[in-house]
Amino acid sequence: MRIILDTNEYIFGLDTEKGEEAPGRLLNAIRVLIEEVDDFRILVPEIIRKEVQRNIPEDLEGDFYRLIYVSEKIEHHSMLNIPVKLFEKYMNEKGLKEGDALIAAFAEFAQVDYLISENRHVYRDLEVRKFTPVNAQEFLTILEEI
């Protein structure tokens, strides 16, 4: 299984004072998946890493980096290899904002199974078959069914 966590999953999941339950539970589940599931991968595109870095409270920045550098199952990716036509598909044809279009193009290009975001509504109406957009709670439900 290959997943991408959107910026908000890291920020809400690490910031337990915000009261966002599902993202926190998601990060805990992911820690278990990293340890126990051989074919599990988290892909961290640089656009998300930089956005988290800009927006996460300073006291949580260390927690974020410890999380994303804990395992070889967490892959870090540049955005340079994404085909321009794929980016344009999401920007022009699907009507996403530039950053969201880049993340969606990366998700398709990298052949992820799930794009997990609390802003799932951004990706919900894309009608893509290459990946499934879900929020943290929906992904946790999927994990329970496996």
For the domain with range 2-145, which CATH number is right: 3.40.50.1010, 3.40.50.970, 3.20.20.70, 3.10.25.10?
A: 3.40.50.1010
pTM for the full predicted model: 0.93
pLDDT tens digits, 98-112: 999 999 999 999 999
* Structure confidence at residue 18 (pLDDT): 64
Averaged pLDDT score across all residues of the chain: 92
The number of helices, as runs of H, and strands, as runs of E, in the chain is 8, 5
Q: How many angstroms separate the CA atoms of 99 and 82, rounded? A: 13
Q: How many angstroms separate the CA atoms of 122 and 28, rounded? A: 25
Q: How many angstroms separate the CA atoms of 87 and 104, rounded? A: 8
pLDDT tens digits, 80-97: 999 999 999 999 988 999
- The candidate with the shortest Cα–Cα distance to 63, out of 108, 10, 113, is 10
- Name which residue leads in pLDDT, 141 or 16: 141
